[in-house]
Amino acid sequence: MAHLSIYVSALAAGLVIGLERERSQSGPARLAYGIRTFTLLGLVGALAAQAGGAAVAVGLAGVGALVVAGYRRTNETDPGTTTEVAALATYLLGVLAWRDATLAVALGLVVVVLLMGKARLHRFVSEVLSDAEIEDALKFLIGAFVVLPLLPHRDLGPYGIFNPARIWFIVVAVTGVSWIGYIAVRVLGARRGLRVAGLAGGFVSAVATTASMARRARTSGDLAGAVSGALGASVATFVELAVIITALSAPVGARILVACALGALGLGVGALSSRIRRRGPRERAAAVHPTPSRVITLVPALSLAGIISATLLVARWAAAHFGARGVVLAVALAGLGDAHGGSITAVTLYARGALSLSGTLVAIGAAVSANTLVKCVVAYAMGGSGFLRRFAPGVAVSLGLFIAGLGLVLWIAP
């Protein structure tokens, strides 16, 4: 009976891939392989896997010959190799089904999604992504899959706080979330104006985006739109905070999700309420392209690693001499530069047992509060008192809701 489920899974993987290939056929030309061939390839893979390694190798060679023959038959009308690669993948999925049937079916569905998304993927790569954004993606992949595995994964330095692999993983996580969030907002298009652009910029740097929006309000006169964009940048702060902290520590992440949601909700309400007056065509046209030119650059990533490392050292020293209050003060000081750096430091100390769960939440609240203060100072310096009067209430309400959410969690589950 167990073997029957394996064969069903192999057949299912081949069936769904063959169904997509059959439906993708256009014009009078016939595909070299149809739905029946793909289904049989999945079954053959499972049978070969049951027979043993030699049978798998022989089957792979046979499928390779079939792929070459099929390509020679259709290369004049369809020079692409997608169908041939899909046929090879179907055979290998059948082999995989013998070891993990669920994974084989899941990967088969992933293959189908990729095949069906041909037009969307081509449009996304050629029309949506810029050369700079593709370069940023390559930087992220190198950092995640080349640099990270090479770094030592052990505690070094004073108090044993410097773990190169763990610190670089944090950098990779932050830059990855920033890039994904930025691209996700870019896909929506700039027609939605400064709110979308502010959200996109916030995934890179909320403080820098706040400064950019404040300066724009002073130069263009679009106060309402600029305030909405600046508040949108702070929404990205809460999104990143929730995702990254949850990735680092599930217990802490579960306790800040509600607080982050409340903080983002307060900013959303503030962004909507700031757009009281209607903008004219000239102002709308001026609000289209304020997004940052680069998402991932080496200097900010290395700066973040330095901030986290220095804050960890200071916080451990403060914990040894002044207890939890010293840690909270150190994290708050780190929050003046970056809310994520201070919060990540607190979560890292919690994971090492140097800070309690309640102390961690208090430290995160201190980091976000300090960073909010910096945003208000930047708003006033770059946009003047008029911009600050429109910006401060939104971030104040948001911070109040965030702190209230943390307090509620501490009250319910200390």
pLDDT digits (tens, 9 = 90+) for 43-81: 888 888 888 878 888 888 888 888 777 767 666 665 567
The pLDDT value recorded for residue 401 is 92
Question: Whole-angstrom Cα distance, residue 78 to residue 73?
Answer: 9
The pLDDT value recorded for residue 312 is 63
Work out the percent of the chain whose per-residue pLDDT is above 90: 2
Question: Whole-angstrom Cα distance, residue 183 to residue 193?
Answer: 16
The pLDDT value recorded for residue 5 is 80
The answer to whether the beta carbons of residues 388 and 376 sit under 8 Å apart is yes
C-alpha neighbours within 13 Å on the C-beta side of residue 243: 17
Q: Which residues contact 203 (CB under 8 A, 6 or more apart)?
A: 177, 178, 179, 181, 182, 185, 236, 239, 240, 295
- Provide mean pLDDT across the span 373-382: 84
Q: Give pLDDT tens digits for 184-211.
A: 656 655 445 566 767 777 776 777 778 7
Assigned token pair, 185: 């907002």
The answer to whether the beta carbons of residues 362 and 196 sit under 8 Å apart is no
Write down the mean pLDDT value for the chain: 76
Question: Considering only 12-26, 160-174, 303-317, 395-409, which range has the smallest mean pLDDT?
Answer: 303-317
At residue 308 the predicted structure's pLDDT band, cuts being 50, 70 and 90, is low
CA distances from 313 to 46, 124, 229, 360 (A): 54, 43, 35, 16
- Provide mean pLDDT across the span 235-262: 87
Burial class (CB in 10 A: 0-12, 13-18, 19+), 64: middle
The pLDDT value recorded for residue 296 is 56
- Provide mean pLDDT across the span 283-294: 45
Assigned token pair, 129: 């992504």
